């Protein structure tokens, strides 16, 4: 991608193709409320099924309480294998997105959570938002599937 910086105002312009894909990060922060997002795509799941790994550069802050977790599936996934699921989080602090959740377009309030990612759980240690694709002989069609997981935390 071409890149240009105007010499007087230091305005940056970018030219060319911009690729979009899986990503995660803090979406916005309003006072003590923080919104963290993780974007999950069919291409990401296909890569994970083939042995790839994805660790987001996002850690939920210590001293926050998980207020809410929501999943929005914009485009249905095509998953295969035995009990495929997407696990977001690390260790025992996870949110599990089931095959049923991912293969139908729509909104899922409070997907299955465990550990300190359960609603109203206090973060005593930062939880890194990693993404794993679990199950037996799992597959994913890389050309379909798009979802966003939103985790809302509040400082206490």
* pLDDT higher than 80, residue 3: no
Whole-structure pTM value: 0.75
Buried b (16+ CB within 10 A) or exposed e, 65-96: bbeebebebeebbebebeebbbbbbbeebbbb
pLDDT digits (tens, 9 = 90+) for 107-125: 887 788 887 777 767 777 7
pLDDT at 26: 59
Q: What is the pLDDT of residue 1?
A: 45
Does the pLDDT value for residue 138 go beyond 90?
yes
- pLDDT, average across residues 118-143: 83
pLDDT digits 0-9 by tens, 34-93 = 888 888 899 989 988 988 777 667 788 888 888 888 899 999 999 999 999 998 888 788
Q: What are phi and psi of 56, to 5 degrees?
A: -75, 150
How much is the pLDDT for 35? 85
Q: In the prediction, which pLDDT does 143 show?
A: 92
Closest C-alpha to 77, from 103, 116, 101: 103
Higher pLDDT, 30 or 2: 30
Q: Where are the domains of the chain?
A: 21-155
Which residue in 34, 64, 27 sits closest to 155, CA to CA?
Answer: 64
């Amino acid at each position: 991608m071409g890149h240009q910086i105007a010499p007087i105002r230091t305005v940056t312009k970018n030219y060319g193709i911009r690729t979009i894909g899986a990503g995660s990060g803090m979406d916005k922060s309003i006072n003590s409320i923080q919104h963290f997002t993780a974007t999950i795509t069919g291409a990401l799941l296909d890569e994970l099924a083939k042995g790839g790994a994805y660790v987001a550069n996002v850690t939920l802050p210590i001293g926050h309480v998980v207020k809410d977790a929501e999943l929005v599936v914009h485009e249905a996934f095509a998953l295969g294998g035995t009990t495929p699921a997407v696990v977001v989080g690390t260790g025992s602090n996870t949110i599990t997105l089931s095959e049923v959740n991912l293969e139908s377009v729509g909104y899922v309030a409070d997907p299955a959570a465990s550990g300190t990612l359960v609603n109203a759980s206090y973060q005593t240690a930062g939880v890194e938002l990693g993404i794993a694709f679990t199950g037996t002989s799992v597959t994913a069609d890389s050309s379909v599937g798009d979802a966003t997981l939103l985790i809302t935390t509040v400082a206490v």
